[in-house]
Structure 1
Amino acid sequence: MRRHLMLVSAPALVIALSMTTAACSSGSDEPAAEAVAKTNEGAYRAAIADIARTDAERTSDATRKPVELLAFAEVMRGEKVGDYIMGGGYVTKLLAATVGAEGRVYAFQPDEFIAYRSEYATEQDAAVEPFRNVTALRGPIGAPPFPEPLDTIITVMNFHDLYLKPMSADTGSKASAALFAALKPGGTLVVVDHAAASGSGTSAADTLHRIDKQAVIDALTAAGFTLEQDSTMYARSDDPHTANVFDSAIRGKTDQFSLRFRKPG
């Protein structure tokens, strides 16, 4: 079973992660050993400094908080991890540098996305090309073909896509079950997404590209996951939850929730 790690608490990360730690609900994780914390600190800093990252990705770090995300996801060197719906590869690159040569990253791009916009395939190829420890995967959005049990899966700003109108009505439940099956017992799933109005369920997925946090919790707990931590590291109280996330007035400034689930075992 995977060792449970809460948030890295090495001295150089205390300031960066203090707000995240304070915002997380209390969980049952065991305190991380000092040696593990120091090891992960170096891996996270190396991931941010990796030369394969673009200037645009570095610029977005201020709002995307890569150190905090990696710590919240408990990613460690040598692990097998998945980036579910990888987009342009921002998270894929961070994971690749963090898990190192002894680890493996599976970067998944859905067939449905590539059919809608062919550039998703070429962007996937370009993002994974510099890394020997990254495998590009393609397949149905509800059935990602991860080839081995994973320690961690991260999906950022894409869970709502399971509920877009072009998707079949059971895509959300199928994908949730597939993510559960893809993880090792004790493995973690981290979901970050744009917050919709409380009580709105999945109704804003297609119109605003948002989803109610409770709808995500309900879908994943129904699949067998246990919600372990709920972080407000990406919270924005000035977001009214009524604008499309691609609206220029709100883009890059949306209120987002961050949830960490664990597969029992």
Structure 2
Amino acid sequence: MIRKSFAPVVVLLALASGAGMAQAQVPANITAALSSPVRPAADTARDAARKPGEILAFAGVKPGDTVVDFIIGGGYFTRILSGAVGEKGVVYAYQPAQFIQYSAKYGEDLKAVAATVPNARPLDGTLLPLDLPDNLDLVMTVQNYHDLHLKPFPTGTAAGVNAEVFKSLKPGGVFLIVDHAAVAGSGLSAVDSLHRIDVAAVRAEVEAAGFKLESESPLLRDAADTHTINVFDPAIRGKTDQFILKFRKPG
């Protein structure tokens, strides 16, 4: 993520049950990846809140997959993906050049991933055009989709990225998006001010590229979040209401 500069009880029980089932069904390849020695203590300390095992299980990550962690940030998910796909798989760690230009730390984080994470291949191409290989099994982006709409980036950046991701995925491939929820019906209005985005806007944009929404997970939903606070505010940081959308390329 880049900072701005340039119901009823029955329903609650159902959600709790669903989350429990998701945790129980995390496959062995992902469970093992969570314990990988390449993961620093600062990463593992965040697992309870971020639920990476359940998220990657929801995405369907398998040994041997070729995946892209798009806008890796500090590489939290890159390191887990590496173990989950195993030695026969590949993880492309994509840190856009625009992010590295904004903050040198993004470049340093990419170099650290390249030096310490097996089967991770660093990419520092532009947002558009994307420097992505073809025949991918999965592209995922976590807490960063809204960034594609920040004012420094040209109008149409998100649409362009969605189109290129669609092109790069194999038929049946998955595009997984996790992001901070904005007020329902607010569209893109909170992107710059709060670093949030309306889930309906994301769905409309991604489906316009040809994807089909397969499912949505409640794993990171939090009804206590009012959707009106900047995600970097200490009062809410790390505790935001987040949506998880799993799109699939037809075929």
TM-score when normalising by structure 2: 0.90
**Which letter does structure 2 place at the counterpart of 1:192?**
V
**Total equivalences in the alignment:** 235
Quick one: which amino acid aligns to residue 157 of structure 1? Answer: Q
Q: CA deviation at 1:19?
A: 2.6
Of 241, 244, 255, the residue aligned with 2:227 is: 241
Query: Which whole-Å CA distance do the structure 2 matches of 1:59 and 1:163 have between them?
Result: 30
SS at match of 2:84: helix
Q: State whether residues 138 and 144 of structure 1, in contact with CA within 8 Å, keep that contact through their aligned partners in structure 2.
A: no
Q: What's the offset of the Cα at 1:18?
A: 4.5
Matched, 1:219 2:189: no
- Structure 1 partner of 2:64: 78
Aligned mates of 1:49, 1:99 — CA distance in 2: 14
Question: What does the per-residue CA deviation read over 1:202-257, in whole Å, with 9 as the maximum and x for residues that have no partner?
Answer: 11111100000001100100000000001111001000000000000000000000
Measure the CA separation in 2 of the matches of 1:206 and 1:20: 31
Q: 1:196, CA displacement in angstroms? A: 0.3
* 1:199 aligns to 2:185 (yes or no): yes
Give SS of 1:206's match.
helix
Q: Secondary structure, in 3 states, of the residue corresponding to 2:193?
A: coil
Q: Which runs of 5 or more structure 1 residues have no equivalent in the other structure?
A: 1-16, 24-36
Alpha-carbon distance between aligned partners in 2 of 1:18 and 1:147, rounded to the nearest angstrom: 38
For residues 21 and 201 of structure 2, the distance between their equivalents in structure 1, rounded to whole angstroms, comes to 24
**Among 82, 85, 91, which residue is 1:96 paired with?**
82
> Using the alignment, how far apart are the partners of 2:219 and 2:176 within structure 1?
13
- What does 1:160-179 align with in structure 2 at a 5 Å threshold? 160-179=146-165
2:64 and 2:89 in contact (8 A); partners too: yes
Q: How big is the shift at 1:21?
A: 7.6
Which is worse superposed, 210-219 or 133-142? Answer: 133-142
Q: Which moved more, 1:252-261 or 1:126-135?
A: 126-135
Q: How does 1:61-76 map to 2 (within 5 A)?
A: 61-76=47-62
Q: Which amino acid aligns with 2:145?
A: F
SS at match of 1:207: helix
Offset at residue 22 of structure 1 (A): 7.4
Output the CA distance in 1 between the equivalents of 2:43 and 2:60: 21
1:108 to 72, 77, 94: 94
- 2: CA distance, partners of 1:22 / 1:243: 31
1:210 to 167, 187, 196: 196
**Does the 8 Å contact 1:163/1:169 carry over to 2?**
yes
Q: Helix, strand or coil: the match of 1:139? A: coil
Residue of structure 2 equivalent to 1:139: 125
| One-letter amino acid of the structure 1 residue matched with residue 128 of structure 2 | G
| 1:20 and 2:19 matched | yes
Contact 1:87 1:109 in 2 (8 A): yes
Unpaired segments ≥5 residues, structure 2: 1-15
1:149 touches 1:184 (CA, 8 Å); kept in 2? yes
1:6-45 to structure 2, matched below 5 A, reads 18-20=17-19, 41-45=27-31
Q: Is the 8 A contact 2:146 2:179 kept in 1?
A: yes
Structure 1 residue runs of 4 or more that deviate by more than 3 Å after TM superposition: 20-23
The alpha carbon displacement at 1:66 in A equals: 1.3
- For residues 120 and 152 of structure 1, the distance between their equivalents in structure 2, rounded to whole angstroms, comes to 22
Aligned-partner SS, 1:237: coil
1:61-95 superposed Cα distances (whole Å, 9 cap, x missing partner): 00110110110110000010010111100110111
Q: Deviations over 1:4-26 (max 9, x none)?
A: xxxxxxxxxxxxx9433879xxx
- 2:107 maps to 121
Q: CA deviation at 1:128?
A: 2.8
Residue 251 (str. 1) matches residue 237 (str. 2) = yes
